[in-house]
Structure 1
């Protein structure tokens, strides 16, 4: 009675070799799957222990394979089938070979047979044809058995488990890159409040506050997403695991940097201070150029958002058009203004800001060591410069207003927007 063999008893490469053997048997219309077919299947696999060992022992496996193929195609070895029900059965000689391969594996404590075990067994229990080839090719079974491993083959069970793990990792990666419902909800709220401001002639004062604040949080998410996306492209895949590619503002939140400082700056001076935090593993980024791109991506996202918001101002030169819906356009103008101030701040070459991050990969370590004390006090230095250094303040505001003029944003709308934003005053 013929034994039933399971794929789990063999390595992945061994299973592929058996499948290749079955294919050549089917092509030559053989009644039974026999050891010569298996030898063909073993030689046809490239990245296997069997082929690696034969090559290391000085055998030309390509030449051996061609010889086998010629003989199969000339039908010298074909036993014609009498009916379809016979095809696919194992030759008793192959049954003995497969059992021998499993015994070879067990003798060294391995729970599955590799292609080398199959090759050793094929040559240990040769058919007449294989015995002739063995003499022609001077193949020594013991040399094959004792040769160092050339390819460590994997069991079918392990391969299946790794495949399932890979599928799960792929699913997790897709989940980590989906747009967050939080971001979608904020975007929908911003659009809804914007529609309200556009349609109502005398909106509630808090509506402008809500529109601009939500719009600012949306821009914060875009800013940090820009950093994370470039970091992911550059080689830091941990940003996906941390949820930074979902655009979820909650993933970027830092109690002080993300909430307290931006609100203080916004209320005191109407300045947009990005306060999110994405932790990028710069050591994983493949080049210094890419490290600079990662830092520049945040301000670039603010710039793109500002450009989209400013399109009506760039395309429509009639001031009367904006005067018809002053509350809506004042809110839009203020949001553009905040984006420009955020870009101006972030491009400053100070530790802790993106401007410094752009330069940092190109600075010598001596400069980094010299600036190390500033890393913890960058924001305090920024506050000092802004409130106490007139020259700094003058250059900053000149840049902001020139950028707004380039976008053709009406300055009066920005002033109206800011006065309406602080509705409680």
Structure 2
């Protein structure tokens, strides 16, 4: 049975909001003296439960985190921004102390929490490799033995004797990860920093982490918003939400739990009366819905999911040539498409429209829909902006690359290869 490498018990971390200290050097020195010499409680410290003291407020970044990892296991940590992931990694890396609880670890820890962690800007890449190695507890001979492999992996051999302050962010992270991964730590801790690298570098990093866990028996802790990478690399997952553990265990099950809360499944807007419905003297929109054809039972829209936009409106005009168009935008406002059909003759009353978006068309990302109503293909009657929004998740099979797929659309067009025989 594999031994336990990391054991976290009741880890909690609390931060003070606003200013720290009294603002007076004399009072701060008095508080220090009372606390250290007379063992009195610091008035700037917290009471259990994070209550207010002297109009100071406190917030728990982590609360009661418990887990353990055995040798060779890979743990993926997921959650929204601000969930406490980076705080937990800093505690595990011994950068900060927990307010409560204890972490027991066995072996050397190597962590990459931000670009260029531990690097000195004025020193060269070569010098920083040796400094980082010494910080990790490696002897000079061990670093020299791995030096060529580190430089080759980083892909920046031409700049190895250049001060790292002249490196781009991509070069920084290449060298930093190469050092962290090749100096054979027992525990490798990686934050979302890998997103800085290009596609080829990400593929190499993810492959290296997979080898470190599955082949070399090292323990890996990986924080990422790339759920596909977490699912493929990690045997266990931990979902943090507002500083607490929301779910833990099998990676696929935890990710499914997480995804099921990401989306508002109520992709529908419906109004009971015409007066309540958005619109004007010409058009009143009664109902808009996004209907999904899910590929899996976890009910998450991914790139394979077919979508139907269905809407119903009240036409206030009689005998009018009417058309509707659907506009799809990225969350940042770039238009993906503007589609419509030929106008039809409509009487006063309820009209219904549909628009189909096939699966394997959209790339992963955030989108919103607007609907435009037009008379005679020229006169705008009403524009219902941002009526629905939705997220599209990534999905990949039989692929070892997890970087961001280029483009706003991701159609599944075949690209066929043909081998010519050489005579």
Whichever structure has more strand as a proportion of its residues is 2
Q: Which of these two proteins has the greater Rg computed from alpha carbons?
A: 1
- Normalised-by-shorter TM-score class: under 0.3
TM-score, scaled relative to structure 1: 0.21
Larger relative helix fraction: 1
